[in-house]
Structure 1
Amino acid sequence: MDTKKKKKWLGHIGIVLTYIVLGFAVIAALFPLAWVASTSIKPGNEVFSNPPYWIPKMPTLSNYLLVLTESSIPRAFLNSMIVGGISTVIALLLGGSAGYAFARFKFRGSKGLSLFMLISQMLPLTVLMIPMYYMENAVGLVDTKLGLAIAHLAISMPLVTWMAKGYFKGIPKEIEEAAVMDGCSTIQMLSKIVIPLLKPALAATGIYAFISSWNEFAIANVLTRSESSRTVPLALSEFSSFYRVDWGQTMAAAMLITIPIIIVFMLVQKQFVEGLASGAVKG
């Protein structure tokens, strides 16, 4: 076999091995979700069957009906949407503005300050919860959706700012200067030139901020007291008690919480991938 054919065969083998590895990775990632979906449609007597089986013998939707009609999941779902939406909008506005300032303006301590924001992500949430509670209690924001959304900024804002800084650095400054020379104000230049160029990047950043808020449990557990502001991670914990866990309803609730995020991600998958690639190349 000559060298060209050998390289060609090695290339094919490499592609096959890559797909095999990716296939195992996909199976490993989907296995827990598949088990959750299977358990969610099992009646109580089949959940603890030994040996366990994937396909229920008597599938039922009663777990879903009970979750939707007799639990706080629907209210918590709406609360999470509101809290996540508010947190995402504020994070994009403030984090995007800060990222633009770090990328375009040189001032004393800019590098150290931007690095300090990223290092703050290393702090455990338990360190931040008590100060957050006292500050929000002082201004009457405890047990409110707005207060929880503002608290979630401590999770998303540093990385949103850092990501935005990389995205803005990837846009040549000459484009902005040309827009200003053509008569655009700063606001017009940003809204008509810069932001449209960064739509995929902003989509990726917004998804990160929303999911960070959607999945957060510890801060929400400290800052909320009633169903009017409790989010889905807290509502999910209601299905377990000290003596018993209703696994069927727990898994049904988990599916109801997970499916909307999967749908949203699939709808914006293209923009998300383009945004991540943009940050990787231009940041």
Structure 2
Amino acid sequence: MPLRQAATAAGLITGYVADAWFGDPRRGHPVAGFGTVAGALERRWWADSKTRGAGYAVTCAGTVAGLGLAAQAATRRRPSARFALVAVATWAVLGGSGLAAEGREMARLLESGDLPAARRRLGHLCARDATGLDAAALSRAATESIAENTSDAVVAPLLWGAVAGIPGLLGYRAVNTLDAMVGYRSPRHRNFGWFAARADDVVNLVPARAGALLTTLCAPLAGGRTRSAWRVWRRDGSAHPSPNAGQVEAAFAGALDLRLGGTNTYHGAEERRGTLGDGRPPVPADLRRAVRLSRMAGAAALAVAALGAVLR
């Protein structure tokens, strides 16, 4: 086995452990820095044009992926340096620890009955309009966000790191961040953000389904049922308007015996989503179960990614 493959696998594991142990840096987070630069460029580059938006997305994500490719080439014969860079990149792009912390904090706020604080906190998980949402709606929104971000912030970066190393890790996170920034169907970004949104759909096609499968397999570790998770995933995964988000959300719904989906409001516009699952609506305590399932699925994704990096 080439040392660089072993170094990549060890770097993925080390970066995952660093994220679990240290979480995100309070200051100077690389992803936040990328977002700041991309935001400044968007303000100068913006036009109500798909072509301009595509150029913007390719420039931003391509630059980051190119830097990763240069770093990978420079460490081709230096396994120790490859290990260090993969570990740092993995730690920088993963969001599993932060996702779990937000889920637990939402559970705490809802269990204490502090709805105003919970509505404000929801913005840390998703862009949904939380105005007027009650405890049940907030519980559903947070559960769905934990499920979706298990794929976006944990499973997908690990798998891209296994397949493409440093440029896979950095390039994936750049695409996913751009989607969060400009991919929404707001009047300003309906055309400009179209390419970023479609690019994010493409890079998540396989990871989202892998995340749903891992969620299904890990369901018993969170007190759920594999058979139910598999059945709901296969039946309801495509009922969601997103080609990817519904996959993992349906698997979570089946695994935890919940009913997700419904009508959400984004940027003042209502969006009707399909119903996922046959169970009861989520309650605040279910957020802790969702966090546990998310952590188990993330650990399983790490095992798959490390093995994939070695075999690659």
Question: What's the TM-score once normalised by structure 2's chain length?
Answer: 0.27
Question: Which structure: larger Rg?
Answer: 1
Question: What's the TM-score once normalised by structure 1's chain length?
Answer: 0.29
